[in-house]
Structure 1
Amino acid sequence: MPKKASVLGVVAGLAVIAPLLAACTGDRAPAGDRPVVLTTFTVLADIAENVAGDHLEVRSITKAGAEIHGYEPTPGDIAKASEADLILDNGLNLELWFSQFVESVDVPHVVVSEGVDVLDISEDAYAGTPNPHAWMSPASAQLYVDNMVEAFSDLEPEHADDFRANGDAYKAQLQDIQDELVGELAALPENERALVTCEGAFSYLARDAGLTEAYIWPVNAEQQATPQQIAATIEFVRDNDVPAVFCESTVSDRPMQQVVEATGATFGGTLYVDSLSEEGGPVPTYLDLLRHDVDTIVAALTGGDR
Structure 2
Amino acid sequence: MRKWGIIFLTLLIHSSLGCAQPTPKIVVSFSILKDLVENVGGEAVTVTSLVGPNSDAHIFEPTPESAQLISEADLILINGLGFEAWIPRLVESTKTKAKIVIASQNIKSRTFVQGNEFSPDPHAWHDVKNAMIYVDNIEKALLGLIPQSTELIQKNAARYRKQLKDLETWIYKELESIPRHQRTVITAHDAFGYLSEAYQIKFLAPQGLSTESEPSVQEVVDLIKEIKEHRVGVVFIENITNERLIRHIAEEAGVAIGGMLYSDALSEKNQPAATYVDMMKINIQLLKSGMLKNK
TM-score, L = length of structure 2: 0.86
Matched, 1:256 2:246: yes
SS for the counterpart of 1:53 is helix
Which residue number corresponds to residue 105 of structure 1?
96
Matches of 1:231 and 1:171, distance apart in 2 = 43
Q: Which amino acid aligns with 2:86?
A: W
Letter in 2 for 1:105: T
**Deviation, structure 1 residue 49:** 0.6
Structure 1 segment 222-237 matched on structure 2, within 5 A? 222=212, 224-237=214-227
Partners of 1:206 and 1:212 within 8 A in 2: yes
Matching residue of 1:186 = 176
Identity fraction in percent: 29
Answering whether residue 256 of structure 2 is matched by residue 266 of structure 1, we say: yes
Matches within 5 A, 1:60-99: 60-99=49-88
The match for 2:209 among 215, 219, 222 is: 219
Find out whether 1:174 has 2:160 as its counterpart. no
* Structure 2 gaps, min length 5: 1-20
What SS does structure 2 have at the residue aligned with 1:109?
strand
Q: Hey, what does 1:44 align to over in structure 2?
A: 33
Are the counterparts in 2 of residues 48 and 148 from structure 1 also a CA contact under 8 Å? yes
Q: Note the 1:96-245 alignment, pairs <5 A.
A: 96-103=85-92, 104-124=95-115, 127-222=117-212, 224-245=214-235
Q: Would you say the 8 A contact 1:195–1:206 is kept in 2?
A: no
Give the deviation of 1:240 after TM superposition: 1.7
Equivalent AA in structure 1 for residue 67 of structure 2: I
Q: Distance in 2 between matches of 1:161 and 1:200?
A: 39
Deviations 1:87-116, CA, capped at 9 Å, x for gaps: 000000010101122243111110000011
Counterparts of 2:202 and 2:55 in 1: how far apart (Å)?
Answer: 28
Asked if 1 retains the 8 angstrom alpha-carbon contact of 2:59 and 2:211, the reply is no
Equivalent position of 1:24 in the other structure: none
Larger Rg: 2
TM-superposed CA distance for 1:184, in Å, is 2.0
**Structure 1 residue 269: deviation in Å?**
0.9
Q: Which amino acid aligns with 1:204?
A: Y
Encode CA deviations 1:201-233: one digit per residue, 9 max, x unaligned.
Answer: 000111111112211111335552432121121
- What is the CA–CA distance in structure 2 between the aligned matches of 1:132 and 1:48, rounded to whole Å? 18
Among 35, 39, 47, which residue is 2:24 paired with?
35
Structure-2 residue corresponding to 1:55: 44
TM-score, normalised via structure 1 length = 0.83
User: Structure 2: which amino acid aligns with 1:79?
Assistant: Q
Number of residue equivalences: 272
Between the aligned partners of 2:68 and 2:213, the Cα distance in structure 1 is 34
Deviation string, structure 1 residues 249-281 (Cα, Å, up to 9, x no partner): 111222222332333333211111222222212
- 1:17 paired residue number: none
Distance change (3 Å), C-alpha of 1:259 and 1:110: same
In structure 2, distance between residues paired with 1:277 and 1:254: 20
Show structure 1 runs of 4+ deviating over 6 A: none
Q: How far apart are residue 189 of structure 1 and its match?
A: 2.2
RMSD over aligned Cα atoms: 2.0
Report the 3-state secondary structure (helix = DSSP H, G, I; strand = E; otherwise coil) of the residue aligned with 1:217.
coil
Q: In 1, are the aligned partners of 2:234 and 2:293 still within 8 Å (CA)? A: no
